[in-house]
Structure 1
Amino acid sequence: MIHLFDASIFVFRGWFALPDSLRTARGEPANGFRGFATALADTLDVVDGHPLILCFDESLTTSFRNEIEPTYKANRELPPPELEAQFQWCRALGETLGLPCLSSDRFEADDLMASVARLARVEGQAVTLISRDKDLAQLLRPGDLYWEGPGKTARSYEEMRSKLGFPPERMADYLALVGDPVDNISGVRGIGGKSAERLFAHYEDLEALFADLDGIPELGLRGSARIQRLLAEGREQAFRARELTRLQDQAPLPFDTIPGTPTSVDMAGLLQLDADIGLGARNLAKLKRLHGGSLA
């Protein structure tokens, strides 16, 4: 089982959830770093020696999606400089622990996770997606797990299908209809979540849906005539939106095979990070146990 860690999610969680009184030895904010360190230490306690790969977002404004739609994520504020620095510290922590740390100025963390997942499948391995981003559900296949992180229960493909109301791999098509305000993506006007769930419980993808608009009344949806009309009017918008919601699984990776589990930790580097930034006594104790051993 390959574990893919959506690193940026946990940095932002720490930034917003932890007090800014958490400071480095130089007095700089370190709450994003501390939240990430806690999530990572707790994750390593759980993964039981399986490979763990960290995927970071390098930029919010230069991914290939901005070339398709310049307003993509335009509603998001850019991280302030004090948070940008913390991303660098988080990556340094991962590298100190011997973990692969991926980032790209063209592909987002989700795309990097998709690309590693594709490689894992070539090798016949299942994946665990560690994130709180619903977009990643589209990567799930039978045998995979979706885990929101320490303190949460991992969900199987079948459990996610039940929760969503449609097969997880159709998430990109679902978002193309309903839109994704978080990423500033407009869907098809007037199509809500419940209608989209019912549609993708029946249709395999956008192509199948739009090839059979005349069959929508047979699904027994409330307001089927209205839904049929809205879809016909919004066809172009739906396919354009899917260019943004579909994850790219061909991002360049620095390896041709999935890296194995690191066998040691740069203890000097770990202690220096703790002295300079502050890992927290609990986290340091957990991470120290990795020195000279497996990630279990």
Structure 2
Amino acid sequence: MPENPVWLIDASIYVFRPWFVRQPIVLDSEGNPVNAVLGFLRFIYNLLQTEQPQHIAFAFDISLQTSTRKAIYPAYKANRTPAPADLKMQFQLCRDFLDALGIVQAASPYFEADDVIGTWAKQQRNNGKTCMIISGDKDLAQLVNDGDIWWDYGKRTPLPPGGVKKEFGVWPAQIPDQLALAGDVADNIPGIPGVGMSTAAKLLQKFSSVEVLLSRIPEIGLMKTRGAKRLQELVGEHQDTVRLARQLTGIYCDVPDVPLDLRRKDKDLVQLQALCERLGLTEQQYNLWKHV
């Protein structure tokens, strides 16, 4: 594990997971459901208590409709239903709680949380820091450099670059190429029909990148792979799709107007207590949060 890394958290998945868990609905003092908030807080508390990070930041998504990827490909993430109002409210409570804890959190109206994390990772590396990239989304594994870790916290084994290669069949920098070839159903990104992540990995093991692959299509048919000739035809037929997809799968690392000082600040104890009271947390729980 890196020594004194910067912790960069893809927040949304750790809100969505408790939201989708079937359990009795818990209401706040205003009668709003807060199951997702409470699940998110359990995740935060465990991370802060166990890891005691000094530099940490959470990235959120706020507007899919205005995202740069949507402008490139209008069908991007069109398979996702908009978040209901009570879930949006819970996202805001999560962000308010982070503010009260003195923890940096940010979002961009034009770029996604992945891009915010990519920007932070680039900036922190320029300062000689290593990064713990916390997410359940394999897309973010593309950001892992030497010394960094990608980790679906509490769910999977932490993966350094070699671990990413073992898990996904490609090196971190090749993940956007792999997704461009195979497509990404979760984000509604098209790929080459019949080409999955495993076949995409085999292509990238030989050709290193989409750019190299598309410049050497006739060589695909010479690969010692079952159906190599058909694979060559498919790549040739879907070159434009792959080029489009590659614009969507890469993470942008120069998002403007995001906070760059990721050190924990002093807590706002007044705001923290008010939020604890609203969420129905006990005085004992408030005291735990006050000292975490």
Give the TM-score band, short-chain normalised.
over 0.9
Deviation of 1:192 (Å): 2.0
SS at match of 1:155: coil
Distance 1:231 1:152, change over 3 A: closer
In the alignment, structure 1 residue 115 sits paired with structure 2 residue 128: no
CA shift for structure 1 position 191: 1.5
Instruction: State the 1:282 CA deviation.
Output: 8.3
3-state secondary structure, aligned to 1:101: strand
Residues 221 and 230, structure 2, Cα contact 8 Å, conserved in 1? no
Write the mapping of 1:14-163 to structure 2, written as runs, cut at 5 A. 14-17=18-21, 19-150=23-154, 152-163=156-167
CA deviation profile, 1:170-204 (whole Å, cap 9, x unmatched): 11111111111111111112222221011122322
In structure 1, the residue matched to 2:253 is 249
Shift of residue 224, structure 1, vs aligned partner: 0.7
Matches within 5 A, 1:255-270: 255=259, 257-262=260-265, 264-270=266-272
Deviation at 1:92, TM superposition (A): 0.4
Aligned length: 288
Q: Is it true that 1:214 corresponds to 2:235 in the alignment? A: no
What is the SS of the residue equivalent to 2:79? coil
Residue 284 to residue 134, structure 1, CA distance change in 2 (3 Å)? farther
Distance 1:20 1:202 in 2: 51
Alignment partner, residue 294 of structure 1: none
Q: Distance in 2 between matches of 1:223 and 1:151?
A: 36
Closer/same/farther in 2, CA of residues 42 and 266 from structure 1, 3 Å limit? same
Counting aligned pairs with the same residue, the percent is 34
1:182 matched to 2:163: no
1:275 aligned partner:
277
Q: Give the 3-state SS of the residue equivalent to 1:114 in structure 2.
A: helix
1:258 to partner: Cα distance: 3.8
Q: CA deviation at 1:214?
A: 2.2
Per-residue CA shift, 1:240-291, capped at 9, x if unaligned?
0111111111111334x443233x322221111011124578864542223x
Q: Distance in 2 between matches of 1:212 and 1:280?
A: 64
CA RMSD of aligned residues (A): 1.8
Question: CA 1:151 to 1:186, structure 2 compared with 1: closer, same or farther past 3 Å?
Answer: closer
> Compared with structure 1, are the counterparts of its residues 195 and 53 closer, same or farther at alpha carbon in structure 2 (3 Å cutoff)?
same
**Structure 2 vs 1, CA of residues 145 and 273 (structure 1 numbering), >3 Å: closer, same or farther?**
same
Q: Is 1:165 aligned to 2:158, yes or no?
A: no
**1:97-125: CA deviation from partner (whole Å, max 9, x where unpaired):** 11111101111101100111111121121
3-state SS of 2:8 partner? strand
What's the TM-score once normalised by structure 2's chain length?
0.93
